[in-house]
Amino acid sequence: MGEFIAEMQERLLPEYEQMKHYNVFTPDQVREIVSRRERLFLKITKSHLAVGDYLEFIVYEKQMYKTLSDKEKMMHIKLTGLKNSISIRIMRLYREVLSKFTHDRRLWSNWIKFSKKSGPQEVAGIYEKMLLYHGDDPNFWVDAALWLYEYNRLNIDRVKDILLRGLQRHPDSEALNKCFFDILLKEAARADPEKNLADNTLSEQDIKLERVEAVYRNSMENITSLDYFVKLLESCEDHHEITLKLQRLIIDDMQEKFPREPGLWDLAAQRELRGYHLGDADEEPDNNEEEPASKKSRSAPNTRSLKRRIQLCVTVYKSAVEVLQTQDMWTLYLDAMLALNSDGKAERALKQQCLADALQDGHRSKLMHVRHYAILRKMLSSAPSGREAAVTILTEALKNDASVEMHQLLLGTHVQNDSESLIHEMFNKFQRTMGPEALPLWQMVILYYRTRQDSLGRKRLEDIYKIATASTWPSFSELRSDYLRYLWHAESVDAARTEYAKLALQPPMSLQLHRTMAQLESSLAVRDKAAIKYWRMCYEFMAVYFGKTEPSVWVEYLTFERDHGETKNLSLLTQRALTTLEPRYVPAFEAERALAYVGAALVG
């Protein structure tokens, strides 16, 4: 360690001379740099070292490197020697710290990231050292292989060695297997399809394609994920002209392994849409079975028209929903048709017809998702003549899917059509058969009748609110608050106060009910003693029913008395809060009370 430090300090002397020579820094700045580095050297010579000591030094040197780069631009000079010296020092610091703290993966990653810019020739060696300690992570093997391959493709043998060693430790790693597959496929694509090796009847390209296939077959023994096979097919599509046989092999294996997997059918349909017809892989250009693949004619994806590709795609989806008959498969089919219609420039009529047919067939299957019914409803409701059809379809769908969402669609259609009798009929049905989950439906019906503003609407509202406020479901307390607001604004203040007096005593108790009424009382423009009494009653109910576990209700009560009530009540009310609250809530009360008073003082 002493020799390492001494050598590094000795290398600094020429740097300082260059700094002075080029006038990069003033003499005082150079002395400060010398002093700072000496302190950093002292930290890494301690008996008890920490990663942070080295990181501080590394960060300082990186900042110095950046400063010198900025100086180069400002002064229009080259400081290559200084910068190289700093880069070497940073590399040595990384090497030294990682010899002591080999477990720090982030440090290894930072070293590699720095080296890729400052010393790319060193990166492969750093990866090898890191893999000795962290070879348990397959991603590190992938990163090492990809870097080495992209840095110098002549290192293909070394790349293979890294990947093979990685696969020995992680045979079931999808990332490693796919990386190996992709690299060998790229090598095959670069190979000469006409060049034969020695006396071999196969071309260089065919031999390399056989290696790609071997990697694929080997991975099949350890990987059973559909996504993995999909990714391999996508890689093959990038080199479609040379991988027809391999694609056919992968597809056959997928059909054997995942015959009832919706994702497989979706993949097949989307490939048809992109122009990769399944039958193309079976076509043979001639009858010479002995002729290598590289000698046979190879073509790009079959150049079918968009119309034909759409038709083939839809055919696959139709077969899929017929075979699988699941909602997941129908969802994939319909989502694909919707995506197809997002670009309506070409073959617009055909795309729209395909979507319409899919929605119609999906409804008949009784497996269509409510999300797609919402789209169908929107399409039909865009024209007055389609609204009755929407009602018919959604009524039929509700028999198979009685979810709240499906009820919302049908109810929304009735509202759009202003079909009051059907809305009321539907309300009577779901209020008898559904539980608290139907709250959104109640709210839709209430909103509809409130917007009618006629005698029938007012009568219906009263009936609905009476049923809602009598409910014991806690979530329906929201409708109680809504009823108070309705009475206050549409009827009278006295009507709201009378109803509140009843609801305040009716279980289940709701804190929101009292806060709503308090807010309504606060909105009065003119307040007499009676109004203050009614307002105070809201806080009194809150304190009685929720005062043991809700510190905030006491703070709100105190704020009311301070600003609108009787200040003489504050002391007694505070004492009452402290004795009523459970001990564990007292500190929270004190904190909230203090904060409320500080806020009031600042406002005042």
Long-range contacts of 433-437 (CB under 8 A, 24+ apart): 434/404, 434/407, 435/473, 436/471, 436/473, 436/474, 436/475, 436/476, 437/404
Phi/psi at 203 (nearest 5 deg)? -80, 170
The span from the CA of 599 to the CA of 423, in Å, is: 49
CA distances from 571 to 537, 543, 556 (A): 18, 15, 14
What pLDDT was estimated at residue 4? 59
What pLDDT was estimated at residue 551? 95
Tell me 223's DSSP state.
-
How buried is residue 228: exposed, middle or buried, by Cβ count under 10 Å (0-12/13-18/19+)? Answer: middle
Low-confidence ranges of the chain (pLDDT < 50): 284-299, 602-604
Residue type, 462: E
- The percent helix, strand, coil of the chain (3-state, each to 5) is 80, 0, 20
Residue type, 24: V
341 contacts: CB under 8 Å, gap ≥ 6: 351, 352, 355
What pLDDT was estimated at residue 190? 92
CA distances from 406 to 124, 327, 364, 383, 399 (A): 59, 15, 16, 21, 10
Phi/psi at 196 (nearest 5 deg)? -95, 145
Q: Where are the domains of the chain?
A: 1-101, 475-535, 548-603
Residue type, 92: R
Phi/psi at 18 (nearest 5 deg)? -70, -35
Exposure class string for 535-551: b at 16+ Cβ within 10 A, else e:
bbbbbebbbebbbeebb
The span from the CA of 246 to the CA of 289, in Å, is: 16
- pTM, two decimals, is 0.79
What pLDDT was estimated at residue 385? 83
